[in-house]
Structure 1
């Protein structure tokens, strides 16, 4: 039976450039094409970046500051090509006292290298009254590198803009969804089909492409209401996405595969996002979950992939954190969990050798 018990290590001495930056979002932990991990934290007008000096190593370089002047509601997404895409909103004042709201994106193509300038994707609405109600963007990347960006709209709808196979942007499309209470959770399967789960007031609505590059078609509605911001998609079999979310009614984690009944998994998450990752443990395909629990500490869950009905083993790591944890596998295939400690500094714990899932001490980076 997998076990998970990272312990909190003492902080390093000496201040860094991150000490005075108040974290607004993150951390996001991403494995680059060269196998090195990068941790990103959103602070005011900047993205702080820490990068492993060697794949699978324990030393990190950073923090470095990436420009994010005026960017709010930052999100970080990546695909099989390991490019890192930054999504956000930028609000600009108008001469008449109103505001322009643009959906923005930038890209980092290689580990540790500069990011591109920020580019505007515009807004789904030309009417100023509707445009200012657009919410935080979310995204998914197809296996061919095409980026899909979704935003919730003020009337409870959802809009989508995407790249085509040649990398050109297609115009905004308003999807067949109503009553949305939060941004959708998009996902791309290994065969490049994109789908998304939309939280609504009474259910979770599933939309999916019937074919590669096709329109989003309305699918099932599951009788579970996700806590805003909690949904995490994970491909748990070829072409099949499982959504892990916090049930607003019961307060526990739920696994949802479209077409099946929601499956309660227990746990005691707070109101943040769930991190989900597949890995092999003792020769078994397993899913690892990480949440910030109601006690404010990092909590880990482990189960057999798509075998959640057999039980999920939850462990409170006692690591008190701000925000929500993130998961990735390093260049040696080991699971790494990242979180912001009580002082807002990023810390990581790494899978140790041996059976099951046991973690090292937490260490600031």
Structure 2
């Protein structure tokens, strides 16, 4: 999955999304902090490829993007909107292909601007990035080529506090950053820097009124943070091979960034530090049981703005959840299967 798949809806309920076989499943709380409902299929009965991108707007609506097979050797992208966790999501709607026809070109990413318009990004057959955006009055605009070359599999899309959409992508030895110069505009390639990036480790987060931060693992195994206009900073050694999940939260009265990652030992590792103050340092603390090798980790804040973390295994279908205890620091409750 690309993006944070543990979300808090506009009604305060948490939900999770999971690609299983040829479908996407959703589980949601019956009420804020309450028991969880059984998994439901999202978007009707269309058969999908096992890849999913998730984005969420300030309105709390979830936007889901996946690939579906169209005919032998070809695929197309589809989009669904989920307005509230307890409601059924809209049916999957075809949104086309960055090259008009062909098979899958890469893992998509999706971000939602301040007006609630989804922006879908995906690598094209030329190795650059293409984008498709929703129109303000409904429907979708044309596919646009954002350029770039040799872009790797999974870009990271994010919406800044300004409401404008940004995109990060990696290429061999490089990082690229696109940003909308004004609301509704096509994102423009703003900066390209030399950086040794491990593929499929990008995760972006809005960290201040004007800036977003990209987290990635470099080829030496260090977790790094990059804000365009500055040089990347090494934060700490990565806990495991995949991308981190990241959320801003308040810890003991301080604006902090919390990172979570499946560690090499198979447990969940957490690290927190004052937002945009990487020089303060961070360290990993492991929590919970050993997980299946395909388990993914996501962090969010609940209806009371308290930290909640989840792990999900596609093969086992097992959802584990923990919340922060009502005490100083980042003490967590015992992990529970839901």
SS across alignment from 1:187: strand
Is the contact made by 2:225 and 2:233 (CA closer than 8 Å) also made in structure 1? Answer: yes
Q: Distance in 1 between matches of 2:104 and 2:258?
A: 35
SS across alignment from 1:148: strand
* Residue number in structure 1 paired with 2:331: 358
Q: Distance in 2 between matches of 1:89 and 1:343?
A: 23
Structure 2 unaligned blocks of 5 or more: none
SS across alignment from 1:166: coil
* Residue number in structure 2 paired with 1:48: 25
Is the contact made by 1:25 and 1:41 (CA closer than 8 Å) also made in structure 2? Answer: no
* Residue number in structure 2 paired with 1:337: 309
- The residue correspondences of 1:103-114 to structure 2 (distance < 5 A) are 103-114=77-88
Aligned counterpart for 2:89 among listed residues 88, 91, 115? 115
Q: Are positions 1:156 and 2:133 aligned together?
A: no
Aligned counterpart for 1:61 among listed residues 37, 42, 66? 37
How many residues are matched?
A: 333
Aligned counterpart for 1:230 among listed residues 190, 201, 223? 201
Between 64-73 and 325-334, the greater mean CA deviation after superposition? 64-73
Deviation at 1:272, TM superposition (A): 2.0
- After TM superposition, the score normalised by the length of structure 2 is 0.93
Counterparts in 2 of 1:285 and 1:75: CA distance versus 1, 3 Å: same
Kindly report the root-mean-square deviation, in angstroms, between the aligned alpha carbons of the 2 structures.
2.0
Is the contact made by 1:26 and 1:41 (CA closer than 8 Å) also made in structure 2? Answer: no
Q: Distance in 1 between matches of 2:142 and 2:63?
A: 19
Q: Are positions 1:187 and 2:158 aligned together?
A: yes
Q: Distance in 1 between matches of 2:107 and 2:156?
A: 11
* Residue number in structure 2 paired with 1:289: 259
* Residue number in structure 1 paired with 2:64: 86
Q: Distance in 1 between matches of 2:183 and 2:40?
A: 38
- After TM superposition, the score normalised by the length of structure 1 is 0.86
Is the contact made by 1:133 and 1:154 (CA closer than 8 Å) also made in structure 2? Answer: no
CA deviation vs aligned residue, 1:204-247 (integer Å, no higher than 9, x gap): 11111222222322222232233222211111100310011111
Q: Distance in 1 between matches of 2:204 and 2:41?
A: 29
Larger radius of gyration: 1
Aligned counterpart for 2:99 among listed residues 120, 125, 129? 125
- The residue correspondences of 1:158-173 to structure 2 (distance < 5 A) are 158-173=129-144
Which protein has greater RCO, CA pairs closer than 8 Å, 6+ apart?
1
SS across alignment from 1:82: coil
Q: Distance in 2 between matches of 1:186 and 1:28?
A: 14
Counterparts in 2 of 1:197 and 1:219: CA distance versus 1, 3 Å: same
Aligned counterpart for 2:226 among listed residues 248, 256, 260? 256
* Residue number in structure 2 paired with 1:16: none
Structure 1 unaligned blocks of 5 or more: 1-23
CA deviation vs aligned residue, 1:56-85 (integer Å, no higher than 9, x gap): 33x212123334632121122111111111
